[in-house]
Amino acid sequence: MIRTSRRLADGREILYFDEDADAPPRDATDGRDLPAVATQSQLRFDPLLGEWVVVAAHRQTRTFLPPADQCPLCPSRPGRPTEIPESDYQVVVFENRFPSLATDVARDVPTSAAGNPLAELRPGFGRCEVVCFTSDHDRDFFELGHQRARLVVDAWAERTAELSALDGVEQVFCFENHGEEIGVTLSHPHGQIYAYPFVAPRVEKLLGSVRRHREATGGDLFAEVVTAERSGPRVVAANEHWTAFVPAAARWPYEVQLFPTRKVADLPELTDAERDAFVDVYLDVLGRFAHRFDTPMPYIASWNQAPARARDEWWLHLQLFSLRRAPGKLKYLAGSESGMGAFITDTNPEDVAEQLRNAQVTAE
C-alpha cells in the first residue's frame, strides 16, 4: 500500500491510498477558495445516563443529497473542483469539512451547561474523517472486488493506528452508513472515521458485561460467544479466520456480526491472512444483504474496536445491520426503542440467518 499526504485549500489533510507503486503521483493541488474550517463543537455530559453528548450545531449547513453531477466526493474535473483534487483515485481519506469533532476545536468553553453544574462541558476535541472507497460514484462496497476492499481495510487499519496515538483520543470508530433510509446525505460510496475523546456507550456496556462474566465465572465472554456461534444455527458465512452470524438476540430486523477466530483488539492487529479472509466473508455477506429483497438493503457497518485503555479485554468485531424488515417496510425506533432503549424485533434470528444463507448472490 502506498500512502500520500497532501493538503486541501483550507488546510485539511487528504490522504491517498494506492494498491502499489504503479499508481500515478498524487500531486494535484486544490485551487478552490475555501474559508477556514471553524468548529464550535462541545461535549456535554448527561449526569443521569452517565454519557457524553456531542453538540455540533454548525453541521446544519453541511451538504445534503446533491445531484450526482455535483457530488463533492467524485474526482475533480475541469471546471468542477471537488473535495478530491485528483482526476481519479483508488481510496481517499480526508478531514471532514463539517466535523462533529476536531483537533483545532475552540477550547474556551464554560465548565458546565448554563443552570446545571452537573452537566459538565468540554471542548469537542477529536477528529472526523471521510473515507471514499472508490472514485466510481455508482459502485457499492459489495461490488468493489477483493483487491479494492482489501485496500479499504488497510486504510482503516492505518487510520486507526494513527488516530489512536493522538493524545486525548479514547476510541476510534470506523463505519459506513449506506442508503438514504439510513440518513446518508451523500450517495457516493464512502464511510467515516471518528476519533472519540471518550469511550462510546455501546463499548462501555459491552465491557461491563465482559467484566461481570469474568468475575462470576473466570471465563472470557467474547471467546465463549464466538465459540458457540461458530457451530450454531445462525452462521451466515465463515472461513478459517472469520465467522459471520446473526446474533441470538439480534435487535435489528437484519443483523450480522463478524468476529475473527483469533482474539485481537483492533484492525491494526489483524494479519495479512486475516484481512484477506475478512474481505472474503464481508463481501459475501454484503452481497446477501444486497440481494435479499428486490432492492439492496440500507445498512450500517460498524467496527467495534478496543478503547485505548481496555485493549486486553476486547475482541474486535464488525456489526452489520439494516432497519429494513420486509420489502417496502422499515423498522422504526418508536416508543419502546427510542424512549426506553428496549428493542422489540420484528424478525426471528434463526429465520434471518436461513434467509441470508439462501441468498446465494454476490457481486461479479
**Residue numbering of the annotated binding site for Zn(2+):** 71, 74, 137, 188
Q: Which of 58, 178, 190, 241 is catalytic?
A: 190
Residue 231, Cβ neighbours under 10 Å: how many?
9
Q: Are 141 and 149 in contact (CB under 8 A)?
A: yes
User: Does residue 58 carry a catalytic annotation?
Assistant: no
CA 42 centroid distance within chain:
22
Residue list, annotated binding site: 71, 74, 137, 188
Cβ neighbours around 228 below 10 Å, total: 12
Beta bridge partners of 326: 329
Query: For helices 272-291 and 146-164, what crossing angle results, to 10°?
Result: 120
User: In the chain, where does DSSP find H-type helix?
Assistant: 146-164, 201-217, 221-230, 272-291, 349-358
Distances (CA, A) of 167 to 106, 120, 206, 322: 17, 20, 24, 34
Cα(94)–Cα(8) distance, integer angstroms: 9
Q: What are the backbone angles phi and psi of residue 166, rounded to the nearest 5°?
A: -70, 130
CA atoms of 98 and 313, how far apart (whole Å): 34
Angle (CA) 138-140-146 rounded to 5° is 125
Report, as residue numbers or ranges, the catalytic residues. Answer: 190
